[in-house]
Structures are given as structure tokens and as C-alpha cells.
Amino acid sequence: MPHLAPPSVRLLVCGNADRGDDGAALSAVATLLPTMPAPLLERIEVRRCGQLRVEDLLDVPPGEVTLIVDAAVGVPPGHVVSLPIADIAPALGTAAPRSSHELPIDQVLSLASTLRTGGLPPGTFIGIGGRRFGYGRPLSRSVRLAMSGFQRAIAGELARLTHVPGGPGAG
């Protein structure tokens, strides 16, 4: 049995597929991962989280980085944003992209930074602006039209973080 190196990236995929644009990250990752090269896939650990919680960040081991993907409010629908998570955490009280969930991502990251030994793990947030988040709604047109850009941003960041060239069809 071949020995695999431990993952270098924890991919946190947030959202609820039953809540319209809140399911954008789930949809993007579900169709993107099968197109990624095996050496890249071996370097990531994928975790699904309905909403980002402090616990999702507390056990990230030293040397591992985090990529959080989610739908966001506070940015135009269909617009893709990419920010270092450390830049979001201290943004309490300022305008910043945030998860569409009850506890905004900046507050989750601030709490994790305080509670986790060594502060936040290094990492990136990639979000796509959503238009509708109601139960039983499909993805909005804005999000559907921007899905390929969202996936390119995710694929590019995974390749950068894992140091493995990747992307749809690579490998």
C-alpha cells in the first residue's frame, strides 16, 4: 500500500444545498473535485460544514492551511471574492464579505484566533456573492452564470496552496 503524505490543505465547504445560493460552494466543489489531478487531491482534506464553526478551525494541525469556500452576503450577487482569512478576522465592525449564516465569518475567525493555540491557521476565504438564501430555492441566475469563475478561483487557490499544478482536466 503506498504511503500518502498528510494533507496540506483543509478545504472547508460551507453551505446548505436546500437554501438557494447558500448551496453554491457545495455545487462548485462537487463538480470541480472530480476534474482535479490525483496529486492535488491527495494533498487536501475536504470537510463539509453547514456553517463555519469555531470547531472547524481549532484542530487544524500545524503546517496545514485552510481554504474556506462559501456563499457570501455583502458583495454583489455572482461576484467572487478571495481574501486571506487573517484579513477577515479582525474586521469586526467593518464592511466585509461574510457568510450568509447566523454567526458572521469574521466573528467565527476572531473566536478561533483567540481559542486556537498559535492563532488562526494560514488560509484563504473564497466566496461568491449570493442573491437568494430561502429554503427550497435553486441557485440564482447570478450565481449560476459566475459558477465557472468561482470554480477557477477555488482550483487556482488549491493549486497554489498545495504546490501542485492543477485545474480541470490537469493531471
- The whole-number pLDDT of residue 165 equals 80
pLDDT of residue 171: 45
Task: For residue 96, give the nearest of 84, 86, 106, 82 by alpha carbon.
Answer: 106
Least confident of 14-18, 56-60, 101-105, 107-111: 101-105
Give residue 105's pLDDT: 73
Q: Which residues pair with 151 in a beta bridge?
A: none
The pTM (predicted TM-score) of the whole model is 0.85
For residue 126, how many other CB atoms are within 10 A of its CB?
Answer: 23
Is residue 69 within 8 Å of 13, Cβ to Cβ?
yes
Instruction: Give pLDDT, residue 89.
Output: 67
